[in-house]
Chain A
Amino acid sequence: MSALSLLLSLAYLGLAFLAPGALANLFGLGALAAAAFLRLSPNLRTLNLALLTLAFTVGLVRSGNTLGLIGLVGILVALTTLPRVPTWIRAALGLAILLISVPLAGFANTFVFELGIQIGIYAAMALGLNVVVGMAGLLDLGYAAFFAVGAYTWAIFGSQQAKNFMAGNFPLPGEYIYPFMLIAIATTALTGLLIGLPALRLRGDYLAIVTLGLGEVVRILANNLDHPINFTNGPQGITPIQRPPIDWFRELMAAMGVRLDQTTDYQLFFYLLVLLMIGLVVLVNVNLANSRFGRAWVAIREDEIAARSMGIPLLPTKLLAFMTGAAFSGVMGVIFAAQRTFVSPESFTLLASITILGMVILGGMGSIPGAILGAAALTILNLDVLKTFSEFVRTSLPQIPSQVDPAKYERLVFGLILVLMMIFRPEGLIPEKRHKAEMEEA
């Protein structure tokens, strides 16, 4: 078996080099499955993963086929979940994938950057929602509202929009985006407070429906506050929105020997920025989980009445979870607005909220690697796999009626994921220990 697995990996490396493309990458995914699931000695498994990392990178660089990105995500998952792989190898391979493989692939196909950025934005939001739903057990169905508040915070002041209701020199220069990330934390946390104060007094199910309603209220406000005073420009959306100046980044990259052009410079910059943010968010998440607050949240999730009798103040503790989750989303909203340079209310619908929830559930409520995996899986599924599949169907099988085009049925796919996960694996793909115990015990 060891020989077979090694052979597969080597064969894929050869394929990726000689005949890169969708078929080769599918083969690579098979090799990855073999490396992950066959009974192998830890050393051999590590060697296999390293080989496959190299192979997927080569495949991506040579063909730009995004199936390779799925392979890299798969390796990251394997690195975080498989037992008995030395920590330094996990770290080294993980960093190599994030900092070398993905950027290299991005130069071959800038869509990889776009996917990376979107995954990052959603992953950070999933981590935020994870605090609310996973740790504290508060079902929030209007989470996209905070994303909207964060995005509009920068969109309004980073464009001409603010001129409509205040004097000043707008748009603010791009550098201001950094302080605005902090400001967005404040505005979203404040929104969290405003929504949470009434909503969090209610019990679980009521909370779900009220957050859903308030999420809609935020979207309706964004869509309608173009009169009597024009705050949000209503359905027209706000554009163009300033981006941070990145001359220093271009110089830095040039000094490192990386040549950037106008299709890749901002993409690489935002990709790295998003990675940095995720790093911070994970750090905050881990620290919170092990803090007094983290334990209090879990206690509330497990049994509110018991938690209260142990002296945990319910409302403030819940509010803190709500505001923390909101703040993560707010920061990513700022980045989203700057990266897209366009913000309109249509991005913040209920479907967006449910998608983020789906990410948390797919990965495993309360689990940090789970939330990131969930974000990666659903984003890739939505932006890439379904679309590629549709393109394939449309070009290769044109006799199939357009009504069954797979890209149109993302809701169906989400629905199936939610239902099947709940029935067969409610603890998620990478379960958190305590949640897993709870689900099994029941």
Chain B
Amino acid sequence: MLEQILALLPQVIFDGFVLGFVYAMVALGYTMVYGVLELINFAHSEIFMIGAVVGVEVFRYLAPHVGNGFLLLLLALLLGGAIAGLTAILVERFAYRPLRKRGTTNRLVPLITAIGVSFILQDLVRLIEGLWHNEFFLRMRTVEDLEGSVSLFGGAIFAQTKSFVLMGVSILMLLGLTYLVNRTKLGVAIRAVAQDLSTASLMGIDPDRIISRTFLIGGSLGGVAGVLFALQYTTITPYVGFLPGLKAFTAAVLGGIGNIPGAMLGGLVLGQLENFFGTYLPILTNGNFGTEYKDVVAFLILILILLLRPQGLLGQVVKEKV
């Protein structure tokens, strides 16, 4: 059994990273919004889905005109990130801001709104795609430049060009975000609003603008992740966001919600766990419990971590304000 596990291990870890980077990028959107508004933005999984749909459409329409696959991908990433980011701003503007302006203290109200927005976006995209192409399943067009593959370490790892692209883009985005949050004026403002919204506004920061920017940044990251997800896993639907979104949120909690490095770490850890158990559960349990339990395992680990370390892996203990 051990032999069987070891033989595949390099491949499983590699694939775990591919998945983990997707989760990490989506998790950042959750964690940033939570940091600023203390809101679980359920609709973020749909922002991710919109990015993926835009990616598919860009490939569908521009592939015949753009010869270079990498340039095409760059276009898809830019457009996917932009449209997803804009959608996130719109959602904030029209669904969450009215609640904030009314000063609702009940925490359930924005959360339920977020669930509603998520449903609306799913079906709107389904309606649009239905009328546009009469398709439910959207398939990413295959582009030669991105389809290459290499064998590493004597065949222990089979890696596709697009997996490397996915990881490369993710790392760049994550580094960029870290720089933005830590070194720029906007970053300082975001952190200030996250720490204390009302004090920040006394210091001359316009909280609405900062919140909008936060949604834009988180949404664009989600959109970029969506494009890369569609490229990697080839087929998407208007409902594709739900599970990755849920897991990315889990990742954000795992790493310590509100904590940016924590979300990245959480995403990578969850990607590894999911791939590991997805691949090995049948071997480990002698076929009694199969791949279908991979999500169960992921959730049980989430609960365990929340019980043992409620602040998450990298989070800090926050005293509840009275």
A394 → B minimal CB distance (Å): 15
Question: Does residue B124 face the partner (Cβ distance < 8 Å to A)?
Answer: yes
Judge whether A415 and B104 touch: CB under 8 Å.
no
B146 → A minimal CB distance (Å): 31
Q: Interface residues, chain A, CB within 8 Å of chain B?
A: 133, 137, 139, 198-199, 201-206, 208-210, 212-214, 216-217, 220-221, 223-224, 227-228, 305, 350, 354, 357, 361, 365, 401, 403-404, 408-409, 411-412, 414-419, 422-423, 426, 438-439, 442
Q: A201 to B308, alpha carbons, bound, how many Å?
A: 11
Judge whether B127 and A415 touch: CB under 8 Å.
no
Q: A202 to B309, alpha carbons, bound, how many Å?
A: 11
Q: A439 to B99, alpha carbons, bound, how many Å?
A: 11
* CB contact under 8 A between A223 and B107, given known A210-B302, A414-B119, A415-B120: no
**What residues on A are CB-neighbors of B119 within 8 Å?**
354, 411-412, 414-415, 418
The listed residue with most B CB atoms (<10 A of its CB), out of A203, A408, A409, A417, is A409
Q: Ordered nearest first, which 4 A-B pairs have the shortest CB separation?
A: A418-B116, A415-B119, A403-B130, A412-B123
List the count of A-B residue pairs having beta carbons below 8 Å apart. Answer: 139
17 contacts between A and B (CB under 8 A): A206-B310, A214-B303, A217-B300, A220-B293, A305-B320, A409-B126, A412-B120, A412-B122, A415-B121, A415-B122, A415-B123, A416-B116, A418-B116, A419-B116, A419-B120, A422-B112, A426-B106
Contacting chain A: which of B57-65, B81-89, B179-187, B246-254?
Answer: B246-254
Question: Does residue B90 face the partner (Cβ distance < 8 Å to A)?
Answer: no
Question: Does residue B2 face the partner (Cβ distance < 8 Å to A)?
Answer: no
- Over the window 125-151 of chain B, the binary record of Cβ atoms lying under 8 Å from chain A Cβ atoms (1 yes, 0 no) is 011001100100000000000000000
* CB contact under 8 A between A438 and B116, given known A139-B111, A423-B95: no
Judge whether A411 and B112 touch: CB under 8 Å.
no
**What residues on B are CB-neighbors of A442 within 8 Å?**
102-106
Judge whether B296 and A422 touch: CB under 8 Å.
no
Judge whether B115 and A354 touch: CB under 8 Å.
yes
B92 → A minimal CB distance (Å): 13
Judge whether A212 and B296 touch: CB under 8 Å.
no
- Over the window 291-317 of chain B, the binary record of Cβ atoms lying under 8 Å from chain A Cβ atoms (1 yes, 0 no) is 011011001101100110010000000
Judge whether B253 and A206 touch: CB under 8 Å.
yes
**What residues on A are CB-neighbors of B123 within 8 Å?**
409, 411-412, 415
Question: Does residue B156 face the partner (Cβ distance < 8 Å to A)?
Answer: no
Judge whether A217 and B106 touch: CB under 8 Å.
no
A349 → B minimal CB distance (Å): 11
Which residue of chain A is the closest to B136 with respect to CB atoms?
Answer: A403
**What residues on B are CB-neighbors of A209 within 8 Å?**
40, 246, 249-250, 253
**What residues on B are CB-neighbors of A438 within 8 Å?**
105-106
Q: Which of A212, A214, A422 contacts B116 (CB 8 A)?
A: A422
A442 → B minimal CB distance (Å): 5
**What residues on B are CB-neighbors of A365 within 8 Å?**
108
Judge whether A422 and B40 touch: CB under 8 Å.
no
Judge whether B306 and A404 touch: CB under 8 Å.
no
**What residues on B are CB-neighbors of A224 within 8 Å?**
289-290, 292-293
Judge whether B250 and A202 touch: CB under 8 Å.
no
Which residue of chain A is the closest to B322 with respect to CB atoms?
Answer: A305
Question: Does residue B118 face the partner (Cβ distance < 8 Å to A)?
Answer: yes
Judge whether B112 and A201 touch: CB under 8 Å.
no
